[in-house]
């Protein structure tokens, strides 16, 4: 069965960076795109960007460009999301999600809480 297992919770200081991993299993990693979505406490879902499992192409939300990098390691079927220059409003649960062939988000990781606090 398809599973996306994310790395554990992180606490970071403002200005630091965080890198969250998303290890995929149960399917051929290169066949699907991974999107990243975040959710601030008590708020809605915010799409951050996607990365192709096939060729590593990326697309980032405009407001995060310059601070966000998504990568993959096909040898371990793992996707990574790195966010730099963290601010308090980056505090959120970060999710990875595997896109279906039509790009809807069929499988989700369990979420990783990133807390940014001095």
Complex with other proteins: residue 22 or 116, whichever CB lies closer: 22
Q: Is 55 an interacting residue with respect to other proteins (CB under 8 A)?
A: no
Complex with other proteins: residue 29 or 36, whichever CB lies closer: 36
Q: Determine contact, residues 68/80, Cβ cutoff 8 Å.
A: no
- Among 49, 57, 52, 82, CA closest to 67: 82
> How would you class 83 by CB atoms within 10 Å of its CB: exposed for 0-12, middle for 13-18, buried for 19 or more?
buried
The set of residues, in sequence order, having a beta carbon less than 8 Å from that of 78 and lying 6+ positions away, is 21, 22, 23, 24, 72
Complex with other proteins: residue 16 or 63, whichever CB lies closer: 63
Q: Is 87 an interacting residue with respect to other proteins (CB under 8 A)?
A: no
Binding mask 14-53 for other proteins (x = CB under 8 A): ---------------------x-x------xxxx--x---
Counting Cα atoms < 13 Å in the Cβ hemisphere of 69 gives 8
Q: Is 84 an interacting residue with respect to other proteins (CB under 8 A)?
A: no
Tell me which residues touch other proteins (CB under 8 A). 35, 37, 44-47, 50, 59, 61-62, 95, 99-100, 102-106, 108-111
């Amino acid at each position: 069965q398809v599973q996306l297992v994310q790395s554990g919770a992180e606490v970071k200081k403002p200005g630091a960076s965080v890198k969250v991993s998303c290890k995929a299993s149960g399917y051929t990693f290169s066949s699907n795109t991974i999107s990243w979505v975040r959710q601030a406490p008590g708020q809605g879902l915010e799409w951050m960007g996607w990365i192709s499992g096939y060729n590593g192409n990326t697309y980032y939300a405009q407001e995060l460009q310059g601070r966000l990098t998504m990568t993959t390691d096909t040898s371990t079927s793992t996707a990574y999301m790195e966010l730099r220059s963290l601010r308090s409003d980056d505090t959120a649960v970060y999710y990875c999600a595997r896109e279906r062939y039509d790009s809807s988000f069929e499988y989700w990781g369990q979420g990783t809480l990133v807390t940014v606090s001095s």
